[in-house]
Chains A and B, each alone.
Chain A
Amino acid sequence: MLRVCLRGVKATAQKSSGRIRLTNVQQCREYTTGESSSASRVVAAGLLTVTGGIGGTIIYAKWDHKFRAAVEKNVPYSEWLLGLALGPVSQDSGLPIRKPMESIQPPSMLEKQMRTSKAKSEKKLKETTEHGAQDSGPASPQPAQNIQAEASAEATQIISAISEVQSIPAPCDTEPTAAAATVFQDTKSAGTAEPLRERSAEEVAARLAQQNQDEKDIITSLSAQLDDSLASSAKATLQAIGAQEAALQAITQHTHKLKEAMEAEGPSEEKSTQWKDLEAALADRTTSVNDAKTALVKANEALDSLKSVIDKSKGLKITAARPLILAAEENLHKMVVDLDKVVSKVQSAESEAKIVAQYTELVHEAKQQFQREVSSLTPEIQANWKGLTGKLSTDDLNALIAHAHRRIDQLNRELAEQRVQEQIHMEAALEQQRAEDQRALDKAVGTAKQHVKEEARLEQERKLAELREVIEAEMRTQLRRQAAAHTDHVRDVLKVQEQELRAEAEQELSSKLLAQETRYRQLTQEQLDDFTLDMNAAYARLKGVEEAIDSHVEAEEEARKAHRLWLSVEALTYTLKTASTESPSMPLEDAAEAVRASCVENDFALALASALPEESLKRGVYSEASLRARFNSLRSLARRVALIDESHNTLYQYFLSYVQAALLFEKQQEVPPTQLRSEDLDPFKLLSYASYCLEHGDLELAAKLVNQLRGEARRVVEDWLIEARLTLETRQVISLLSAYANAVGLGTTQAP
């Protein structure tokens, strides 16, 4: 659009320049031919520069807004043109201010969110502790335990959240934990639906104390129980162990005796004593084994009861009882281990004894067999064949030898068989042994595994207990810290409150005091004022009386002075009358002097007296009549030079003016209007007005009207005007003086 405009302007410029050129050419054809092109060229160049200037201004205004504003301010119609070319001034400085405000909002909103979530979690915590306090009774320690544990968990969560809020608000960190806490609390508090009620501190403390007491009772009872069961189980276990050891002893004794009996080949009395001992030992062994068994059973029972007690106490889940439980468990484990060890020892001894017993049985059986054989061969011979060497016959001997040989053969055969079957027997025995070993191994491994498991578990429990203690201590310190912070804060708040209240009280006091004081002052002031008023009134009256008397004297004095003044003013007025028709009056010097003398202390009269113009004092003033006469002669002159003024003052104008004066006729005297209009300012009219005024004695108005003359006419009547002014001035002063004197005289005269 700008280009279109420019093009249009250029086109019109070209056209106009073309036209001008044409006319120029035409003109030039008439006159000369050399100057046409230069003129047109000049015009074209001028137009080009103008358009270029305007275009440049528009482009620069588009680029620089300040320049545009300056141009619009200074050049009248530029804003219209610039608006047409570029469009209205754009407004793009308002938006960036809004953005920082928006960015400030999110952190504050997040902070608010965190604060609300924190408050919510705190409220929930209070609720849960209330619930815990409510439910804590000796009847159900379990929920209290639950709630306490969970409360402790929440407390740790909340403390972590609070610590995070105090440092740097990190919304992504606190939000999930707060949300998790709220979710957790929601799921928990859904189970206990109760209205929120604020409990007093004493109630809460009482309930907490009761809770503690209950816990302590439980712990004491538990510990008593544990101790009892531990003691009983320990006793039983010791007994069992003792019994087992006794059994073991008996078994080994018996086995040893048996071995001895088997191997020994002593005389029969010894043998019988041996066998008797053996029997006694066997009886001993059986009894001791039985005792051991019963003791073991008892010990197991006791251990089981201890285990049940431990389990029960574990079920109670009181934290303080844990170490006791742990100790009891350890003891139990130790006892079990010892018992198992002893039992295994006893079992091994028993197995050994079994082997020995088997051996003895075999031997015994062989002996029995041999006896039987011998007896079957020689029925008459008794068992005790050693003492029968002399009684035996040769047949018997031969039979015996043959039997013996046969027996030997048989035995050899058996031996060979045995040797053949040795391997198989060995393998079978090995298998048996392996199986037994395996069994024993399994059992041992099983027991060992159990023991190890138990030990590991105990270790874990111990470690857990330690850790719990540590955490408990830490939480206690944190809570203590929180409590300390709370007390500090409360202290500060109290201090501030105290200060505020004190300030308020002081302010109240001071305001009340001020009010009292002002009232007192007011009262005293009123009293003073009343007294002063009375005094003033009395004084004023006294003064009035005095003044009245003085003023009397003064008044008389004044009257005299006024009289004198009046006389002198009268004299002055009379001097005015001495003016004749042609000559001025007498100089007013003497009369003025007289007036001044008579009003020495009267500033007003003095001022007036000195206001008389110099000329009048020295030379005197003309009378009105003379002025009137003069005016008439002046009038014709003024008429004659009516057209002459600063710009029209050639002789030709003079001639015209004379002709006008000769030909123009106006009224001799005309009533002047109250308001002069512009057509009244014509010199002829003015002169007739002035003439009228003079005829009717109004010199002042005449002078005013004459003052309206301009030009040469004015110059002609200047003298007259000055004289008239002088006369008027003098007359004014004198009239003022006389009026003043009259007034003073009237004032001082007292009516009879």
Chain B
Amino acid sequence: MADELGRKWDRCLADTALKTVTGVGIGIVFSVLFFKRRTWPVSFGSGLGLGMGYSNCQHDFRSPYLIHGRVVKEQS
């Protein structure tokens, strides 16, 4: 249980890094292909990647506290 936190952090950082890079890459691609070598797709992509990574990380850390509810139909 104590190690889990460390493991989570590892996963998180790795995932974020991957996503950011991927985002940057895709941004570059888009920028080159569609947006006339502007910088904003790159920053957009990197932001997208960071954001996704951040969100994933947060979700991962939150996962023990998330409550999954279901609507149970009353059987009358």
Q: Which residues of A contact B2 (CB under 8 A)?
A: 633-634, 637, 716-717, 719-720
Say whether B54 faces chain A, with CB atoms less than 8 Å apart.
Answer: yes
- Shortest CB–CB separation between residue B59 and chain A, in angstroms? 10
B58 close to A650 (CB less than 8 A): yes
CB closest chain-B residue, reference A648: B65
Which of A633, A637, A718, A720 is packed against the most chain B CB atoms within 10 Å? A637
Q: Which of B1, B61, B64 has a CB less than 8 Å from the CB of A654?
A: B61
Say whether A64 faces chain B, with CB atoms less than 8 Å apart.
Answer: no
Say whether A286 faces chain B, with CB atoms less than 8 Å apart.
Answer: no
A641 close to B1 (CB less than 8 A): no
B61 close to A637 (CB less than 8 A): no
Say whether B72 faces chain A, with CB atoms less than 8 Å apart.
Answer: no
Say whether A715 faces chain B, with CB atoms less than 8 Å apart.
Answer: yes
A637 close to B54 (CB less than 8 A): no
A651 close to B57 (CB less than 8 A): yes
CB closest chain-B residue, reference A646: B65
Give Cα A651 to B8, complex, Å: 12
B5 close to A716 (CB less than 8 A): yes
Say whether A113 faces chain B, with CB atoms less than 8 Å apart.
Answer: no
B58 close to A637 (CB less than 8 A): no
Give Cα A718 to B5, complex, Å: 13
A718 close to B1 (CB less than 8 A): yes
Known: A650-B58, A651-B54, A651-B57. A641 touches B65 (CB 8 A): no
Say whether A649 faces chain B, with CB atoms less than 8 Å apart.
Answer: yes
Q: Which of B5-63 contact A (CB under 8 A)?
A: 5, 54, 57-58, 61-62
Give Cα A650 to B56, complex, Å: 11
Q: Which residues of B contact A641 (CB under 8 A)?
A: 5
A715 close to B64 (CB less than 8 A): yes
B62 close to A649 (CB less than 8 A): yes
- Shortest CB–CB separation between residue A43 and chain B, in angstroms? 38
Q: Which residues of B contact A718 (CB under 8 A)?
A: 1
CB closest chain-A residue, reference B9: A654
B65 close to A716 (CB less than 8 A): no
- Shortest CB–CB separation between residue A687 and chain B, in angstroms? 14
Which of A651, A712, A716, A720 is packed against the most chain B CB atoms within 10 Å? A651
Q: Which of A646-663 contact B (CB under 8 A)?
A: 646, 649-651, 654
Give Cα A718 to B1, complex, Å: 7
Q: Which residues of A contact B62 (CB under 8 A)?
A: 649-650
Give Cα A650 to B61, complex, Å: 8
- Shortest CB–CB separation between residue B14 and chain A, in angstroms? 15
- Shortest CB–CB separation between residue B61 and chain A, in angstroms? 6
Known: A650-B58, A651-B54, A651-B57. A637 touches B5 (CB 8 A): yes
Give Cα A218 to B27, complex, Å: 167
Give Cα A719 to B57, complex, Å: 23
Give Cα A106 to B29, complex, Å: 120
B1 close to A715 (CB less than 8 A): yes
Q: Which residues of A contact B1 (CB under 8 A)?
A: 715-720
- Shortest CB–CB separation between residue B27 and chain A, in angstroms? 23
CB closest chain-A residue, reference B12: A651
Q: Which residues of B contact A646 (CB under 8 A)?
A: 65
CB closest chain-A residue, reference B60: A651
Q: Which residues of B contact A633 (CB under 8 A)?
A: 2
Q: Which residues of A contact B58 (CB under 8 A)?
A: 649-651
Q: Residue-by-residue, is A294-330 near B (CB-CB < 8 Å gives 1, otherwise 0)?
A: 0000000000000000000000000000000000000
CB closest chain-A residue, reference B6: A637
- Shortest CB–CB separation between residue A631 and chain B, in angstroms? 10
Give Cα A649 to B8, complex, Å: 14
CB closest chain-B residue, reference A651: B58
Q: Which of A173-199 contact B (CB under 8 A)?
A: none
- Shortest CB–CB separation between residue B76 and chain A, in angstroms? 30
- Shortest CB–CB separation between residue B38 and chain A, in angstroms? 30
Give Cα A645 to B62, complex, Å: 9
- Shortest CB–CB separation between residue A347 and chain B, in angstroms? 141
Give Cα A634 to B3, complex, Å: 10
Give Cα A633 to B3, complex, Å: 11
- Shortest CB–CB separation between residue A119 and chain B, in angstroms? 83
Q: Which residues of A contact B65 (CB under 8 A)?
A: 645-646, 649
Q: Which residues of B contact A644 (CB under 8 A)?
A: 61
| 17 pairs from A and B in contact (CB 8 Å cutoff) | A634-B2, A637-B5, A645-B65, A646-B65, A649-B61, A649-B65, A650-B58, A650-B62, A651-B57, A651-B58, A651-B61, A715-B1, A715-B64, A718-B1, A719-B1, A719-B2, A720-B1
Q: Which A positions have Cβ atoms within 8 angstroms of B?
A: 633-634, 637, 641, 644-646, 649-651, 654, 712, 715-720
Extra contacts besides A649-B62, A716-B1 (17): CB < 8 Å: A633-B2, A634-B2, A637-B5, A646-B65, A649-B58, A649-B65, A650-B62, A651-B54, A651-B58, A712-B5, A716-B2, A716-B5, A717-B1, A718-B1, A719-B2, A720-B1, A720-B2
Enumerate the 4 nearest inter-chain pairs by beta-carbon distance, A residue then B residue, closest first. A719-B1, A646-B65, A649-B62, A651-B58
